[in-house]
Structure 1
Amino acid sequence: MRYNKITDEIVAGLKNIVGPSNVVLDPEKLGVYAGDEVPEAEWKHLPEVVVKPENAEQVAEVIKLANREMIPVTPRGAGTGLAAGAVPMLGGIVLSLEKMNRILEIDKENLFMVVEPGVTTGEVQQRAQEEGYFYAGDPCSADSSFIGGNVATNAGGNKAVKYGTTSRHIYGMEVVTPTGEITTLGGKCVKSSTGYDLVHLLVGSEGTLGIVTKVYLKLLPRPLHNAVLLVPFADMQTAIDIVPKIMTNGGIIPTSIEFMDNLCIKSAEGYLNRTLPYGDAGAYIIIEVEAYTESQLEADFETIGNICLENGGLEVFVGDNKSSQEKIWKARRYLAEALRVTSPVYCMEDIVVPVSNIPRVLAEISQIAEKYSVKIPCFGHAGDGNIHACLLKGNMDDAAWYAVKEKVLDEMYTVTHTHGGKLSGEHGIGAKRKKFMARFTDPVQLKMIKAIKKALDPNLILNPDKVIDVD
């Protein structure tokens, strides 16, 4: 696809739509929008211009202009993504939704919160709590990620084992289509069999099928009590084997079941500058449980603790207050930062497999690491099979790094595919995994994806060079 460059006339048109103060041309300021959290230089690219619309009507007019002039548009939230999904790989316009950051409504009768895409996930959680409710979406980047980005990638996070990914909490959205029309999909109805489910077509589409300008989030009654358990195990196989035993015992559904391997434990110790309990353990399992009564909470965490001790757990540490819980969670939540200190350049992968296959996949990833003499610490969401395998560059020069990385990724994705897995559980495909998407996706599915993209975005201007190439 051949796109045109930004001209003075196009800049003038953009300023007329969003106002001069909402158009960014300064090269130094443009640099802020050149990448996301992927650290490698190959996934950075300067936009030609950044626009910051303040409402859906302005978004629609920008998109109409882009179609007329054949300019690529890259929608962007907070830039916390890990797949180069909001990077303007082909230049053009970055459409930043940072100024659309209002909570529009809290509907206590229907239990909905209506927000603009630039509201942070943490703000949604906090506001829901203040009103006596609970928003269950909880990616690890909640304090900084935008709801719009959560929708774009179908973000998961620590609570997905009980509450599911972002898609489960989205019942409606206002959307600007790739041709500049505004429509509302879904709404506050909790069920609908009225035509195609366009809401969930857009969730996880990574900004390639439309720009979300308003989101209808489902709220839940707030659990009154919770506890967090940290359980060290001698090896990863024993640790992961505990997951189905917990999930099938007595109807207890934990909020979270997280895991960390020994490389992650050691990295966290270094970053936090403190010794963690059983720091030489082969793996940690972190389990969070919730209940509406203290007696039920105590019964549940005692049951889970006993299951762990009876099946290889070395000890059970219980956090039953905010301070002790934060101490347990800190090692897990700061892992990305800890690994970044260990190796400023790294490649974090986001594979997902059936839960029972986690130990086999981790064992084969360990063999790949040994084969290429690299470190690949692994952590993630044991309760839903989502593994974050993080290849570290360390002291390798750039040439060696790129050569090894390609071989490691090729073998890692092959292992994942062989064991019934997928390339991404929650981070998305973006630009970073696009070529692997083409290789490891059924051709019939690829044909369907391309047909949908062409139908909705005939000029292919919306977030091009992401997810899959469309001829």
Structure 2
Amino acid sequence: MTEYRPVTAHVVERLQNILGARNVSCDADKLLTYSRDEVQGPFWKDGCLAEVVVFPESTEDVAALVRLAGEERIPLTARGAGTGLSGGAVPARRGIVVSFEKMNRIIELDRENLTLTVEPGVVTAEINRAAVDAGLLYAGDPCSGDASFIGGNVAENAGGNKVVKYGPTGSHVLALEAVMADGSVTWFGGKRRKDVTGYDFVHLLVGSEGTLALITKIVLKLLPLPAEVVDLLVPFPDVASAVAFVPRIVTEGKVLPASIEFMDRRSINLTERFLNTNLPYSDAGAHLIIQLEGNDAESLADEYERIGDLCLAHGALEVFVADNRNSRDKLWKARKSITESVWAFHPGKNVNEDVVVPTGAVPELMRRLDEIVTRAGSAYVVFGHIGDGNMHVTAAPAPEEPDRESILHRIQDELYDVVKSLGGTLTGEHGVGLKRRDAITRFLDATQIDLIRRVKLAFDPQNILNPDKIVPWE
């Protein structure tokens, strides 16, 4: 195991000289706040606590503090908005937490090259708004977009609602400015759409969870903004019929939607309670949200009528059309509030997974999941991005259950076994981080685990950048 040095008063003084006293904090409350993300419950030891939190304002600041950390052999943990769900921003080996909240500038919107250059602390929703104001589209759309930073999206290769059509965050990243573990600064990629000059380091860094370099600028790809958008809310009598219908949208409807989202009855009911609102057919077994886009209103109307007829022909109870901003916002607010609703009514440590399987395996995943959780006698909720096979599963045994901890472990173990047997893996968008680190050996063989370690050390020989994440090191 790598041996690290503590953050001493001398190190704090050096950090203050680099960043200014206002950008260095040892306040106990801040240290606790900046040492956690959104993972619910005690998934790791209480020793994961930053010794100091710093707030760089420029690439030069980041480079200087990385050089200091290397000289002093102190671990650095990069942090965005703290909305992560894997413990990726938790300082597993203490040291310095680097918050990018002050590096929050939209640097350039380039209309000729259809790119947007930003710093990592920009809130994702601000990027969406900047693109729309220019008549363009940034298609990265995680459900946490109103709070998450783009740097965190890049670090985890966040997915979201539009992956089925546009791909995850990495599909929209053209270039990155990165501070390497020795403090040097380099650019990977550029505004060009094609590049096979050397290795694809851009997409190696995307999803690397801050373990290879600290990203300080991001060049994002923009697309034409569709003139028309319509959302269909489609209740089905049960989970099986909703899940079975999804591939028909493409194969029979001849349409590739921007989004295909799934919500089971339990998730709908929790969200209604949380938001104090009502959705139609809330007693239905499951709902789909199908988002269609186009530039011609009549053509789009033909598409959604065709899809609507297809839904009804295959068991849908009704098809509700949200074709104006207010109705669409209400619908998506419900969808994007599910995670928060689950936490509100099932607080504490639960099974919270974002497993992903090939889309054709989703029906079998859902069937076997129900068997697992029913056998364990636990309540559960399922929702997610059914169009790309990424399902969010929360199982919550009763708090008073005396065997609760072992039930949670059993559900998780059996779920992972099923996911692997179906050709899936343990995370589709939330990342491995600290929470799933020890489970990764169930999905990747020894050759791949060793390769991850060697790539990590090639970038970071002292192992100071977000250590103890993704793969076990002991």
- TM-score tier, shorter chain, comes to over 0.9
The question of whether the paired residues in 1 share the 8 Å contact of 2:377 and 2:397 is answered with no
Q: TM-score, normalized by length of structure 2?
A: 0.97
1:124-149 Cα shifts (integer Å, max 9, x gaps) = 00011111111100000101100000
**SS, match of residue 400 in structure 2:** coil
| Residue in structure 2 matched with residue 470 of structure 1 by the alignment | 473
State the Cα distance separating 1:342 from its structure 2 match.
1.4
Asked if 1:83 corresponds to 2:86, the answer is yes
| Residue in structure 2 matched with residue 343 of structure 1 by the alignment | 346
The question of whether the paired residues in 1 share the 8 Å contact of 2:253 and 2:310 is answered with no
**SS, match of residue 4 in structure 2:** coil
State the Cα distance separating 1:60 from its structure 2 match.
1.3
Larger displacement relative to structure 2 (160-169 or 367-376): 367-376
**SS, match of residue 379 in structure 1:** strand
| Residue in structure 2 matched with residue 453 of structure 1 by the alignment | 456
State the Cα distance separating 1:393 from its structure 2 match.
4.8
* Residue from 210, 216, 227 that aligns with 1:224: 227
**SS, match of residue 379 in structure 2:** coil
Asked if 1:427 corresponds to 2:430, the answer is yes
State the Cα distance separating 1:354 from its structure 2 match.
0.8
* CA distance in 2 between partners of 1:262 and 1:387 (Å): 15
Asked if 1:360 corresponds to 2:364, the answer is yes
| Residue in structure 1 matched with residue 214 of structure 2 by the alignment | 211
**SS, match of residue 264 in structure 1:** helix
| Residue in structure 1 matched with residue 8 of structure 2 by the alignment | 7
Asked if 1:25 corresponds to 2:26, the answer is yes
Asked if 1:152 corresponds to 2:152, the answer is no
| Residue in structure 1 matched with residue 39 of structure 2 by the alignment | 38
| Residue in structure 1 matched with residue 305 of structure 2 by the alignment | 302
* Residue from 63, 68, 71 that aligns with 2:66: 63
* CA distance in 2 between partners of 1:171 and 1:235 (Å): 42
Change (3 A) 1:318 1:144: same
The question of whether the paired residues in 1 share the 8 Å contact of 2:351 and 2:411 is answered with no
Larger displacement relative to structure 2 (30-39 or 437-446): 437-446
State the Cα distance separating 1:250 from its structure 2 match.
5.4
* Residue from 294, 304, 324 that aligns with 1:291: 294
The question of whether the paired residues in 2 share the 8 Å contact of 1:342 and 1:394 is answered with no
* CA distance in 2 between partners of 1:394 and 1:330 (Å): 28
**SS, match of residue 193 in structure 2:** coil
**SS, match of residue 278 in structure 1:** coil
* CA distance in 1 between partners of 2:293 and 2:282 (Å): 27
**SS, match of residue 410 in structure 1:** helix
Asked if 1:327 corresponds to 2:319, the answer is no
State the Cα distance separating 1:328 from its structure 2 match.
2.2
Larger displacement relative to structure 2 (36-45 or 127-136): 36-45
* Residue from 350, 354, 375 that aligns with 2:379: 375
* CA distance in 1 between partners of 2:85 and 2:418 (Å): 21
The question of whether the paired residues in 1 share the 8 Å contact of 2:154 and 2:169 is answered with yes
* Residue from 9, 23, 48 that aligns with 2:51: 48
**SS, match of residue 173 in structure 1:** strand
State the Cα distance separating 1:394 from its structure 2 match.
4.0
Larger displacement relative to structure 2 (362-371 or 91-100): 362-371
State the Cα distance separating 1:22 from its structure 2 match.
0.3
Count of residues in correspondence between the two structures: 470
1:86-136 Cα shifts (integer Å, max 9, x gaps) = 011211100111110000101111010000000010000001111111110
* CA distance in 2 between partners of 1:62 and 1:326 (Å): 42
Asked if 1:169 corresponds to 2:155, the answer is no
The question of whether the paired residues in 2 share the 8 Å contact of 1:54 and 1:99 is answered with yes
* CA distance in 2 between partners of 1:82 and 1:369 (Å): 22
State the Cα distance separating 1:396 from its structure 2 match.
3.4
**SS, match of residue 145 in structure 1:** coil
State the Cα distance separating 1:469 from its structure 2 match.
2.3
The question of whether the paired residues in 2 share the 8 Å contact of 1:352 and 1:416 is answered with yes
The question of whether the paired residues in 2 share the 8 Å contact of 1:38 and 1:347 is answered with no
The question of whether the paired residues in 1 share the 8 Å contact of 2:179 and 2:185 is answered with yes
* CA distance in 2 between partners of 1:71 and 1:396 (Å): 42
State the Cα distance separating 1:276 from its structure 2 match.
2.5
The question of whether the paired residues in 2 share the 8 Å contact of 1:352 and 1:421 is answered with yes
**SS, match of residue 231 in structure 2:** strand
* CA distance in 1 between partners of 2:406 and 2:84 (Å): 24
* CA distance in 1 between partners of 2:126 and 2:411 (Å): 38
* CA distance in 2 between partners of 1:394 and 1:331 (Å): 25
Letter of the 1:385 partner, please give it.
Answer: G
| Residue in structure 2 matched with residue 197 of structure 1 by the alignment | 200
Letter of the 1:381 partner, please give it.
Answer: H
Cα RMSD (Å)? 1.4
State the Cα distance separating 1:401 from its structure 2 match.
3.3
* CA distance in 2 between partners of 1:180 and 1:347 (Å): 39
**SS, match of residue 380 in structure 2:** coil
State the Cα distance separating 1:244 from its structure 2 match.
1.2
* Residue from 379, 385, 388 that aligns with 1:384: 388
Asked if 1:279 corresponds to 2:303, the answer is no
State the Cα distance separating 1:25 from its structure 2 match.
0.5
Letter of the 2:409 partner, please give it.
Answer: E
1:179-236 Cα shifts (integer Å, max 9, x gaps) = 2211000010111111100000000001101111000001111101110001111122
For residues 75-154 of structure 1, what are the structure 2 equivalents within 5 Å? 75-154=78-157
Q: TM-score, normalized by length of structure 1?
A: 0.97
1:27-66 Cα shifts (integer Å, max 9, x gaps) = 0121210210012133463200001111111111111111
The question of whether the paired residues in 2 share the 8 Å contact of 1:365 and 1:376 is answered with no
The question of whether the paired residues in 1 share the 8 Å contact of 2:25 and 2:54 is answered with yes
